[in-house]
Amino acid sequence: MYLFQWFFGALFVAINNFVFPRIGATKTVILVISGQMISSVILGYKVGELFVILAQIFGVAIILFGVYLSKNFCAQNEKINSMIEKSL
Whether the per-residue pLDDT at 58 is higher than 80: the answer is yes
Rounded CA separation 82/79 (Å): 5
| Domain spans in the chain, listed from the N-terminal domain onward | 25-87
Dihedral of the CA atoms 78, 81, 82, 86 (nearest 10)? 180
Whether the per-residue pLDDT at 73 is higher than 80: the answer is no
Residue 77 has a CB neighbour count (10 Å cut-off) of: 10
pTM of the model: 0.54
Q: How many CA atoms lie within 13 A of 79 on its CB side?
A: 6
Rounded CA separation 78/26 (Å): 14
Q: What are the DSSP calls for 26-58, one per residue?
A: HHHHHHHHHHHHHHHHHHGGGG--HHHHHHHHH
pLDDT tier for residue 47 given thresholds of 50, 70 and 90: low
